[in-house]
């Protein structure tokens, strides 16, 4: 889930007991500044991708203590964090869906629209990092408006 409140964005998953964050952390640690809207969507996609790629999922359950009239939510965690085989086509589908109709508006220097869409579908496209792996501090630049 991505929730945007003004300049603040909250991103989370609900059913993995923090494992998506653990999987996404190597990329998140390389972020060196504020995120554009499209970069925030990519981070959300990375969380979802990690969540869906978990080898073994945490198991949630409820303990009921009738005598004390309490319910306690608990989780049984896998012993180790482990991802299954990564399906980058899945990441591509998630990114394409998160961009929606906005995909038609995306332009990248030196790339055709077809090349951009192919890279997205392959799950390899990123708005976060350039070709050298450096964080892109200005991933969004508005096009000049046309004079009336």
pLDDT of residue 109: 77
* Residue pLDDT, tens place only, 45-103: 999 999 999 999 999 999 999 999 999 999 999 999 999 999 999 999 999 999 998 88
pLDDT of residue 147: 54
**pLDDT of 1 above 70:** yes
SS3 of residue 125 by DSSP: coil
Cβ neighbours of residue 109 under 8 Å, at least 6 residues apart?
none
Say if CB 120 and CB 134 are below 8 A apart. Answer: no
* Residue pLDDT, tens place only, 121-139: 999 999 999 889 999 987 6
**Cβ-based neighbour number of residue 52 at 10 Å:** 18
pLDDT of residue 144: 53
**pLDDT of 27 above 70:** yes
- Could you tell me where the beta strands, DSSP code E, fall in the chain? 2-5, 8-11, 59-65, 70-76
pLDDT of residue 7: 87
* Phi, psi torsion values for 45, nearest 5 degrees: -60, -40
Find the angle CA(106)-CA(109)-CA(114) to the nearest 5 degrees: 55
How far is residue 113 from each of residues 47, 76, 108, 110, measured CA to CA in Å? Answer: 26, 45, 8, 10
Q: What is the 3-state secondary structure (H, E, C) of 55-71?
A: CCCCEEEEEEECCCCEE
What is the rounded radius of gyration, in angstroms, for the C-alpha atoms of the chain? 19
Across 8-26, average pLDDT: 93
pTM value? Answer: 0.85
């Amino acid at each position: 889930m991505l929730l945007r409140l003004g300049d603040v964005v909250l991103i989370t998953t609900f059913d993995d007991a923090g494992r998506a964050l653990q999987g996404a952390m190597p990329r998140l640690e390389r972020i060196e500044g504020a995120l554009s809207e499209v970069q925030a969507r990519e981070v959300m996609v990375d969380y979802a991708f990690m969540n869906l790629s978990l080898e073994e999922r945490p198991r949630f359950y409820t303990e009921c203590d009738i005598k004390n009239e309490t319910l306690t939510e608990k989780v049984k965690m896998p012993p180790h964090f482990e991802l299954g085989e990564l399906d980058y086509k899945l990441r591509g589908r998630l990114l394409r869906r998160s961009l929606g109709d906005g995909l038609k508006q995306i332009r990248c220097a030196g790339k055709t629209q077809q090349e951009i869409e192919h890279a997205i579908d392959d799950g390899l496209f990123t708005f976060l990092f350039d070709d050298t792996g450096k964080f892109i501090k200005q991933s969004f630049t508005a096009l000049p408006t046309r004079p009336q």
